[in-house]
Protein backbone atom coordinates (compact mmCIF):
# COMPACT_ATOMS: atom_id res chain seq x y z
CA UNK A 1 0.00 0.00 0.00
CA UNK A 2 1.38 3.40 -1.01
CA UNK A 3 2.54 5.52 1.94
CA UNK A 4 0.42 8.64 1.51
CA UNK A 5 2.64 11.57 2.41
CA UNK A 6 -0.14 14.16 2.13
CA UNK A 7 -1.90 12.40 5.02
CA UNK A 8 0.31 14.19 7.52
CA UNK A 9 1.53 17.15 5.45
CA UNK A 10 -0.62 18.95 2.89
CA UNK A 11 2.21 21.42 2.19
CA UNK A 12 4.70 18.80 0.97
CA UNK A 13 5.20 19.64 -2.71
CA UNK A 14 8.37 17.63 -3.38
CA UNK A 15 9.33 14.09 -2.40
CA UNK A 16 11.51 11.17 -3.43
CA UNK A 17 10.11 7.70 -4.03
CA UNK A 18 10.87 4.37 -5.64
CA UNK A 19 8.88 2.97 -8.54
CA UNK A 20 7.23 -0.31 -7.47
CA UNK A 21 5.46 -1.15 -10.71
CA UNK A 22 4.40 0.27 -14.07
CA UNK A 23 1.44 -0.93 -16.11
CA UNK A 24 0.57 0.05 -19.68
CA UNK A 25 -2.54 2.22 -19.69
CA UNK A 26 -4.74 3.57 -22.50
CA UNK A 27 -2.72 6.80 -22.79
CA UNK A 28 0.70 6.06 -21.34
CA UNK A 29 1.58 4.16 -18.18
CA UNK A 30 0.14 3.81 -14.70
CA UNK A 31 2.87 4.05 -12.07
CA UNK A 32 2.81 2.79 -8.48
CA UNK A 33 5.31 4.34 -6.03
CA UNK A 34 6.27 3.20 -2.52
CA UNK A 35 5.32 6.67 -1.23
CA UNK A 36 3.50 9.62 -2.76
CA UNK A 37 2.36 13.15 -1.97
CA UNK A 38 -0.05 13.08 -4.96
CA UNK A 39 -3.69 13.17 -3.93
CA UNK A 40 -5.89 10.66 -5.81
CA UNK A 41 -9.50 11.56 -6.67
CA UNK A 42 -11.63 10.54 -3.67
CA UNK A 43 -14.05 11.91 -1.08
CA UNK A 44 -15.33 14.67 -3.38
CA UNK A 45 -11.85 16.12 -3.97
CA UNK A 46 -10.21 15.88 -7.38
CA UNK A 47 -6.64 14.68 -8.04
CA UNK A 48 -3.35 16.56 -7.96
CA UNK A 49 -1.26 16.96 -11.08
CA UNK A 50 2.50 17.55 -11.30
CA UNK A 51 5.62 15.82 -12.53
CA UNK A 52 7.91 12.85 -11.87
CA UNK A 53 11.64 13.26 -12.51
CA UNK A 54 13.96 10.29 -12.80
CA UNK A 55 16.79 10.79 -10.28
CA UNK A 56 20.33 9.92 -11.40
CA UNK A 57 19.57 10.02 -15.11
CA UNK A 58 22.92 10.95 -16.73
CA UNK A 59 21.24 12.81 -19.59
CA UNK A 60 19.55 15.11 -17.04
CA UNK A 61 16.23 14.45 -15.35
CA UNK A 62 13.37 13.80 -17.74
CA UNK A 63 10.21 15.52 -16.54
CA UNK A 64 7.18 13.32 -16.93
CA UNK A 65 3.77 14.93 -16.56
CA UNK A 66 1.39 13.31 -14.06
CA UNK A 67 -1.98 13.63 -15.83
CA UNK A 68 -4.30 11.87 -13.45
CA UNK A 69 -4.09 10.20 -10.03
CA UNK A 70 -6.48 7.51 -8.85
CA UNK A 71 -6.56 4.99 -6.02
CA UNK A 72 -6.85 1.24 -6.27
CA UNK A 73 -9.59 0.66 -3.72
CA UNK A 74 -8.61 -2.98 -3.20
CA UNK A 75 -4.88 -2.56 -2.59
CA UNK A 76 -4.91 1.04 -1.35
CA UNK A 77 -2.24 1.94 -3.89
CA UNK A 78 -2.06 5.40 -5.47
CA UNK A 79 -1.86 5.14 -9.27
CA UNK A 80 -0.13 7.92 -11.22
CA UNK A 81 -1.13 8.14 -14.88
CA UNK A 82 1.73 9.43 -17.02
CA UNK A 83 1.60 10.10 -20.75
CA UNK A 84 4.88 8.60 -22.00
CA UNK A 85 6.53 5.57 -23.61
CA UNK A 86 6.39 2.42 -21.47
CA UNK A 87 10.21 2.41 -21.38
CA UNK A 88 10.40 5.84 -19.67
CA UNK A 89 10.08 4.34 -16.17
CA UNK A 90 10.71 0.90 -14.72
CA UNK A 91 10.39 -0.76 -11.31
CA UNK A 92 13.33 0.18 -9.05
CA UNK A 93 13.81 3.68 -10.52
CA UNK A 94 14.11 6.46 -8.00
CA UNK A 95 11.98 9.46 -8.87
CA UNK A 96 11.40 12.94 -7.52
CA UNK A 97 7.73 13.87 -7.38
CA UNK A 98 6.72 17.51 -7.83
CA UNK A 99 3.17 18.60 -7.06
CA UNK A 100 1.52 21.41 -9.05
CA UNK A 101 1.42 23.83 -6.09
CA UNK A 102 -1.19 26.25 -7.51
CA UNK A 103 -3.65 23.45 -8.17
CA UNK A 104 -2.99 21.91 -4.74
CA UNK A 105 -3.56 25.24 -3.00
CA UNK A 106 -6.81 25.74 -4.90
CA UNK A 107 -8.03 22.29 -3.84
CA UNK A 108 -7.03 22.92 -0.22
CA UNK A 109 -8.95 26.21 -0.23
CA UNK A 110 -12.07 24.56 -1.69
CA UNK A 111 -11.98 21.49 0.56
CA UNK A 112 -11.22 23.26 3.86
CA UNK A 113 -13.78 25.89 2.86
CA UNK A 114 -16.31 23.11 2.44
CA UNK A 115 -15.66 21.84 5.98
CA UNK A 116 -16.16 25.35 7.39
CA UNK A 117 -19.33 25.90 5.34
CA UNK A 118 -20.84 22.51 6.20
CA UNK A 119 -20.17 23.14 9.90
CA UNK A 120 -21.75 26.60 9.61
CA UNK A 121 -24.99 25.18 8.13
CA UNK A 122 -25.02 22.48 10.79
CA UNK A 123 -24.39 24.87 13.70
CA UNK A 124 -26.89 27.50 12.55
CA UNK A 125 -29.71 25.38 11.13
CA UNK A 126 -28.88 21.75 11.93
CA UNK A 127 -28.58 21.04 8.20
CA UNK A 128 -26.30 18.05 7.61
CA UNK A 129 -24.09 17.82 4.52
CA UNK A 130 -24.76 14.56 2.68
CA UNK A 131 -22.36 15.02 -0.22
CA UNK A 132 -19.57 17.24 -1.55
CA UNK A 133 -18.46 17.74 -5.12
CA UNK A 134 -15.44 19.72 -6.34
CA UNK A 135 -15.57 20.73 -9.99
CA UNK A 136 -13.05 22.57 -12.14
CA UNK A 137 -14.91 25.83 -11.63
CA UNK A 138 -17.45 25.40 -8.85
CA UNK A 139 -18.00 23.28 -5.77
CA UNK A 140 -21.27 22.06 -4.30
CA UNK A 141 -22.57 20.53 -1.09
CA UNK A 142 -25.92 18.80 -0.75
CA UNK A 143 -27.75 19.66 2.48
CA UNK A 144 -30.35 17.31 3.96
CA UNK A 145 -33.16 19.85 4.15
CA UNK A 146 -36.34 20.82 2.33
CA UNK A 147 -35.26 24.38 1.59
CA UNK A 148 -32.63 27.06 2.27
CA UNK A 149 -33.83 30.66 2.37
CA UNK A 150 -31.74 33.57 1.03
CA UNK A 151 -31.47 34.79 4.64
CA UNK A 152 -30.07 31.43 5.81
CA UNK A 153 -27.65 31.44 2.90
CA UNK A 154 -26.36 34.88 3.85
CA UNK A 155 -26.03 33.93 7.53
CA UNK A 156 -24.07 30.72 6.76
CA UNK A 157 -21.80 32.64 4.37
CA UNK A 158 -21.24 35.29 7.03
CA UNK A 159 -20.38 32.77 9.78
CA UNK A 160 -18.05 30.82 7.47
CA UNK A 161 -16.18 34.00 6.53
CA UNK A 162 -15.92 35.02 10.19
CA UNK A 163 -14.26 31.67 10.97
CA UNK A 164 -11.86 32.33 8.08
CA UNK A 165 -11.07 35.83 9.38
CA UNK A 166 -10.37 34.40 12.86
CA UNK A 167 -7.59 32.30 11.27
CA UNK A 168 -8.25 29.26 13.46
CA UNK A 169 -5.64 26.45 13.41
CA UNK A 170 -6.55 23.40 11.29
CA UNK A 171 -4.94 20.21 12.58
CA UNK A 172 -4.76 16.66 11.35
CA UNK A 173 -5.51 14.10 14.08
CA UNK A 174 -5.90 10.35 14.16
CA UNK A 175 -8.35 8.35 16.29
CA UNK A 176 -10.09 4.99 16.41
CA UNK A 177 -13.80 4.98 15.44
CA UNK A 178 -14.65 4.44 19.16
CA UNK A 179 -12.58 7.44 20.20
CA UNK A 180 -14.06 9.51 17.39
CA UNK A 181 -17.58 8.83 18.65
CA UNK A 182 -16.75 10.38 22.02
CA UNK A 183 -15.02 13.37 20.41
CA UNK A 184 -18.10 14.79 18.67
CA UNK A 185 -16.94 14.11 15.11
CA UNK A 186 -19.44 15.64 12.63
CA UNK A 187 -19.70 12.63 10.32
CA UNK A 188 -18.11 9.22 10.92
CA UNK A 189 -17.68 7.16 7.73
CA UNK A 190 -19.40 3.76 7.72
CA UNK A 191 -16.28 1.88 6.49
CA UNK A 192 -14.52 -0.25 9.12
CA UNK A 193 -11.12 1.27 9.72
CA UNK A 194 -8.61 0.95 12.53
CA UNK A 195 -7.66 4.61 12.51
CA UNK A 196 -9.69 7.55 11.30
CA UNK A 197 -8.00 10.68 10.01
CA UNK A 198 -9.69 13.73 11.48
CA UNK A 199 -9.56 17.35 10.34
CA UNK A 200 -9.83 19.58 13.40
CA UNK A 201 -10.81 23.20 12.84
CA UNK A 202 -10.08 24.63 16.27
CA UNK A 203 -13.26 24.93 18.37
CA UNK A 204 -15.47 24.88 15.30
CA UNK A 205 -15.46 21.56 13.46
CA UNK A 206 -14.08 18.04 13.74
CA UNK A 207 -14.64 15.75 10.80
CA UNK A 208 -13.27 12.49 9.40
CA UNK A 209 -11.64 13.21 6.03
CA UNK A 210 -8.77 12.05 3.82
CA UNK A 211 -8.35 15.29 1.88
CA UNK A 212 -5.63 17.93 1.71
CA UNK A 213 -6.31 20.92 3.97
CA UNK A 214 -5.00 24.35 4.87
CA UNK A 215 -2.91 24.91 8.04
CA UNK A 216 -5.25 27.59 9.36
CA UNK A 217 -8.62 28.89 8.23
CA UNK A 218 -7.15 32.23 7.07
CA UNK A 219 -5.53 30.38 4.15
CA UNK A 220 -8.99 29.61 2.75
CA UNK A 221 -9.18 33.31 1.96
CA UNK A 222 -12.93 33.63 1.51
CA UNK A 223 -16.15 31.75 0.77
CA UNK A 224 -18.69 32.98 -1.75
CA UNK A 225 -22.04 31.21 -1.91
CA UNK A 226 -23.75 31.02 -5.27
CA UNK A 227 -27.01 29.46 -6.41
CA UNK A 228 -29.08 26.82 -4.65
CA UNK A 229 -30.96 24.06 -6.39
CA UNK A 230 -33.46 21.45 -5.23
CA UNK A 231 -32.06 17.93 -5.67
CA UNK A 232 -33.29 14.47 -4.75
CA UNK A 233 -31.45 14.32 -1.44
CA UNK A 234 -32.11 17.92 -0.38
CA UNK A 235 -30.79 21.30 -1.44
CA UNK A 236 -27.58 21.74 -3.46
CA UNK A 237 -25.56 24.83 -2.52
CA UNK A 238 -22.93 26.05 -4.96
CA UNK A 239 -19.87 27.82 -3.56
CA UNK A 240 -16.33 28.90 -4.39
CA UNK A 241 -13.42 29.62 -2.04
CA UNK A 242 -10.15 31.56 -2.06
CA UNK A 243 -8.85 32.74 -5.42
CA UNK A 244 -11.80 31.09 -7.16
CA UNK A 245 -14.12 33.36 -5.17
CA UNK A 246 -12.13 36.39 -6.29
CA UNK A 247 -12.09 35.18 -9.92
CA UNK A 248 -15.84 34.47 -9.85
CA UNK A 249 -16.67 37.85 -8.30
CA UNK A 250 -14.49 39.52 -10.96
CA UNK A 251 -16.29 37.72 -13.80
CA UNK A 252 -19.69 38.58 -12.30
CA UNK A 253 -18.63 42.22 -12.01
CA UNK A 254 -17.41 42.38 -15.60
CA UNK A 255 -20.63 40.79 -16.92
CA UNK A 256 -22.74 43.17 -14.85
CA UNK A 257 -20.64 46.15 -15.94
CA UNK A 258 -21.13 45.21 -19.59
CA UNK A 259 -24.86 44.98 -18.97
CA UNK A 260 -24.89 48.30 -17.14
CA UNK A 261 -22.96 49.99 -19.98
CA UNK A 262 -25.55 48.75 -22.50
CA UNK A 263 -28.26 50.34 -20.40
CA UNK A 264 -26.11 53.40 -19.48
CA UNK A 265 -26.80 52.78 -15.83
CA UNK A 266 -25.22 51.63 -12.54
CA UNK A 267 -24.74 47.87 -12.12
CA UNK A 268 -27.28 47.74 -9.28
CA UNK A 269 -29.91 49.25 -11.57
CA UNK A 270 -29.48 46.49 -14.19
CA UNK A 271 -32.39 44.25 -13.03
CA UNK A 272 -34.73 47.24 -12.95
CA UNK A 273 -33.61 48.27 -16.45
CA UNK A 274 -34.12 44.74 -17.78
CA UNK A 275 -37.65 44.66 -16.35
CA UNK A 276 -38.37 48.01 -18.00
CA UNK A 277 -36.95 46.83 -21.33
CA UNK A 278 -39.04 43.64 -21.16
CA UNK A 279 -42.20 45.64 -20.54
CA UNK A 280 -41.39 47.94 -23.46
CA UNK A 281 -40.73 44.96 -25.70
CA UNK A 282 -44.04 43.35 -24.76
CA UNK A 283 -45.87 46.62 -25.47
CA UNK A 284 -44.05 46.98 -28.82
CA UNK A 285 -44.93 43.40 -29.79
CA UNK A 286 -48.56 44.04 -28.95
CA UNK A 287 -48.59 47.23 -31.01
CA UNK A 288 -46.89 45.49 -33.92
CA UNK A 289 -49.43 42.67 -33.84
CA UNK A 290 -52.27 45.18 -33.88
CA UNK A 291 -50.74 47.03 -36.85
CA UNK A 292 -50.18 43.82 -38.79
CA UNK A 293 -53.77 42.85 -38.18
CA UNK A 294 -54.91 46.20 -39.58
CA UNK A 295 -52.62 45.78 -42.61
CA UNK A 296 -54.02 42.27 -43.17
CA UNK A 297 -57.56 43.60 -42.91
CA UNK A 298 -56.94 46.31 -45.54
CA UNK A 299 -54.92 44.07 -47.80
CA UNK A 300 -57.60 41.35 -47.52
CA UNK A 301 -60.30 43.71 -48.75
CA UNK A 302 -58.11 45.00 -51.58
CA UNK A 303 -57.11 41.48 -52.71
CA UNK A 304 -60.71 40.37 -52.66
CA UNK A 305 -61.78 43.30 -54.83
CA UNK A 306 -59.19 42.62 -57.53
CA UNK A 307 -59.56 38.81 -57.43
CA UNK A 308 -61.25 36.94 -60.28
CA UNK A 309 -64.59 35.36 -59.56
CA UNK A 310 -65.35 31.78 -60.47
CA UNK A 311 -68.78 30.29 -59.93
CA UNK A 312 -69.81 32.67 -57.17
CA UNK A 313 -66.54 32.52 -55.24
CA UNK A 314 -63.44 34.70 -55.39
CA UNK A 315 -60.00 33.16 -55.89
CA UNK A 316 -57.13 35.03 -54.23
CA UNK A 317 -53.64 33.83 -55.18
CA UNK A 318 -50.81 35.87 -53.73
CA UNK A 319 -47.11 35.42 -52.88
CA UNK A 320 -45.29 37.63 -50.35
CA UNK A 321 -41.49 37.63 -50.41
CA UNK A 322 -41.15 39.73 -47.22
CA UNK A 323 -43.94 38.41 -44.97
CA UNK A 324 -43.99 35.43 -42.63
CA UNK A 325 -46.32 32.51 -41.96
CA UNK A 326 -48.14 34.33 -39.15
CA UNK A 327 -49.05 37.18 -41.45
CA UNK A 328 -50.32 35.04 -44.34
CA UNK A 329 -52.41 33.00 -41.87
CA UNK A 330 -53.92 36.20 -40.54
CA UNK A 331 -54.52 37.44 -44.08
CA UNK A 332 -56.15 34.14 -45.13
CA UNK A 333 -58.61 34.50 -42.25
CA UNK A 334 -59.44 38.10 -43.20
CA UNK A 335 -59.97 37.24 -46.88
CA UNK A 336 -62.21 34.24 -46.24
CA UNK A 337 -64.26 36.15 -43.67
CA UNK A 338 -64.74 39.22 -45.86
CA UNK A 339 -66.46 37.31 -48.69
CA UNK A 340 -67.05 33.91 -50.29
CA UNK A 341 -63.46 33.15 -51.21
CA UNK A 342 -60.62 30.70 -51.57
CA UNK A 343 -57.19 32.12 -50.58
CA UNK A 344 -53.99 30.46 -51.75
CA UNK A 345 -51.18 32.38 -50.05
CA UNK A 346 -47.43 31.85 -49.82
CA UNK A 347 -44.45 33.56 -48.22
CA UNK A 348 -40.67 33.42 -48.67
CA UNK A 349 -38.14 34.48 -46.04
CA UNK A 350 -36.53 32.28 -43.41
CA UNK A 351 -39.42 29.82 -43.37
CA UNK A 352 -41.07 29.62 -46.82
CA UNK A 353 -44.70 28.55 -46.22
CA UNK A 354 -48.08 27.99 -47.81
CA UNK A 355 -51.56 28.69 -46.44
CA UNK A 356 -54.74 27.52 -48.19
CA UNK A 357 -58.10 28.67 -46.82
CA UNK A 358 -61.73 28.88 -47.90
CA UNK A 359 -64.84 30.50 -46.52
CA UNK A 360 -66.62 27.99 -44.33
CA UNK A 361 -69.33 26.15 -46.28
CA UNK A 362 -67.62 26.27 -49.69
CA UNK A 363 -67.24 22.88 -51.38
CA UNK A 364 -63.41 22.72 -51.68
CA UNK A 365 -61.00 20.65 -49.54
CA UNK A 366 -58.01 22.73 -48.49
CA UNK A 367 -56.43 19.90 -46.44
CA UNK A 368 -56.54 17.58 -49.47
CA UNK A 369 -55.20 20.27 -51.80
CA UNK A 370 -52.35 21.00 -49.37
CA UNK A 371 -51.46 17.29 -49.08
CA UNK A 372 -51.22 17.05 -52.86
CA UNK A 373 -49.10 20.22 -53.04
CA UNK A 374 -46.58 19.33 -50.32
CA UNK A 375 -46.23 15.83 -51.76
CA UNK A 376 -45.11 17.40 -55.04
CA UNK A 377 -42.74 19.74 -53.15
CA UNK A 378 -41.34 17.01 -50.91
CA UNK A 379 -42.26 18.95 -47.76
CA UNK A 380 -44.84 18.51 -45.00
CA UNK A 381 -48.21 20.01 -44.29
CA UNK A 382 -51.91 19.43 -43.81
CA UNK A 383 -55.08 20.76 -42.25
CA UNK A 384 -58.86 20.52 -42.45
CA UNK A 385 -61.39 21.31 -45.18
CA UNK A 386 -61.34 25.07 -44.61
CA UNK A 387 -57.75 25.80 -43.48
CA UNK A 388 -54.39 24.13 -44.19
CA UNK A 389 -50.72 25.04 -44.03
CA UNK A 390 -47.47 23.57 -45.28
CA UNK A 391 -43.80 24.21 -45.96
CA UNK A 392 -41.92 24.96 -49.17
CA UNK A 393 -38.22 24.45 -49.99
CA UNK A 394 -37.79 28.11 -51.03
CA UNK A 395 -39.69 31.24 -52.00
CA UNK A 396 -39.68 30.55 -55.77
CA UNK A 397 -41.16 27.10 -55.36
CA UNK A 398 -43.69 28.43 -52.86
CA UNK A 399 -44.79 30.97 -55.49
CA UNK A 400 -45.13 28.40 -58.27
CA UNK A 401 -46.90 25.94 -55.92
CA UNK A 402 -49.82 28.34 -55.34
CA UNK A 403 -50.12 28.92 -59.10
CA UNK A 404 -50.34 25.14 -59.64
CA UNK A 405 -52.87 24.78 -56.81
CA UNK A 406 -54.97 27.57 -58.36
CA UNK A 407 -55.34 25.48 -61.56
CA UNK A 408 -56.77 22.62 -59.47
CA UNK A 409 -59.22 24.93 -57.72
CA UNK A 410 -60.39 26.20 -61.13
CA UNK A 411 -61.35 22.72 -62.36
ZN1 LIG B 1 -13.35 16.54 3.73
Q: What is the mean pLDDT of residues 117-140?
A: 96
- Label residue 24 exposed, middle or buried (CB < 10 Å: 0-12, 13-18, 19+): exposed
Å from CA of 209 to ligand 1 middle = 4
Ligand 1 centroid–CA 22 distance in Å is 30
Percent above pLDDT 90 for the chain: 85
Q: 113 CA distance to ligand 1 centroid (A)?
A: 9
Q: What are phi and psi of 375, to 5 degrees?
A: -60, -40
Residues with CB under 5 A from ligand 1 (ion): 209, 211
Encode pLDDT of 229-278 as tens digits. 999 999 999 999 999 999 999 999 999 999 999 999 999 999 999 999 99
CA 257 – ligand 1 centroid, Å: 36
What are the pLDDT digits (tens) for 339-357? 899 999 999 999 999 999 9
pLDDT digits (tens, 9 = 90+) for 185-235: 877 777 667 789 999 999 999 999 999 999 999 999 999 999 999 999 999
pLDDT at 40 over 70: yes
Mean predicted confidence (pLDDT) in 26-53: 94
Span from the CA of 231 to the centroid of ligand 1 (angstroms): 21
Give 115 Cα–ligand 1 centroid separation in angstroms: 6
How far is ligand 1, taken at its centre, from the CA of residue 336, in Å?
A: 72
State mean pLDDT over 45-53: 95
Tell me, in angstroms, the distance from the centre of ligand 1 to residue 49's CA. Answer: 19
Question: Which pLDDT value is given to residue 61?
Answer: 65
Residue 163 CA to ligand 1 center (angstroms) comes to 17
* 310 phi and psi angles, rounded to 5 deg: -130, 120
In tens, the pLDDT along 358-404 reads 999 999 999 999 999 999 999 999 999 999 999 999 999 999 999 99
* CA 235–ligand 1 middle distance (angstroms): 19
Q: What's the pLDDT at 411?
A: 55
The model's confidence at residue 13, banded by pLDDT at 50, 70 and 90, is very high
Angle, helices 395-410/366-377, rounded to nearest 10 degrees: 140
Ligand 1 centroid from CA 252, angstroms: 28
Amino acid sequence: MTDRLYYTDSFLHEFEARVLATVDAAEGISVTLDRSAFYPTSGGQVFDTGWLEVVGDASGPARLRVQDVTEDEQTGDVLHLIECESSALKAGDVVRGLIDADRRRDHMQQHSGQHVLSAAFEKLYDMATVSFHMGDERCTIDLATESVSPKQLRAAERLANEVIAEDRPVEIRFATPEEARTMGVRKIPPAEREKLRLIDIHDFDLNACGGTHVGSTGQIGSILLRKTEKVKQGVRVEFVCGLRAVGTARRDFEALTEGATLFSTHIWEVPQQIRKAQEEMRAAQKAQHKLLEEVAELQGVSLLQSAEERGGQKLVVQYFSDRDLNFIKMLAQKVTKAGQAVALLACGGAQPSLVFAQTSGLPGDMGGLMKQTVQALGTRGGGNRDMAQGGAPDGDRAESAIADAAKLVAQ
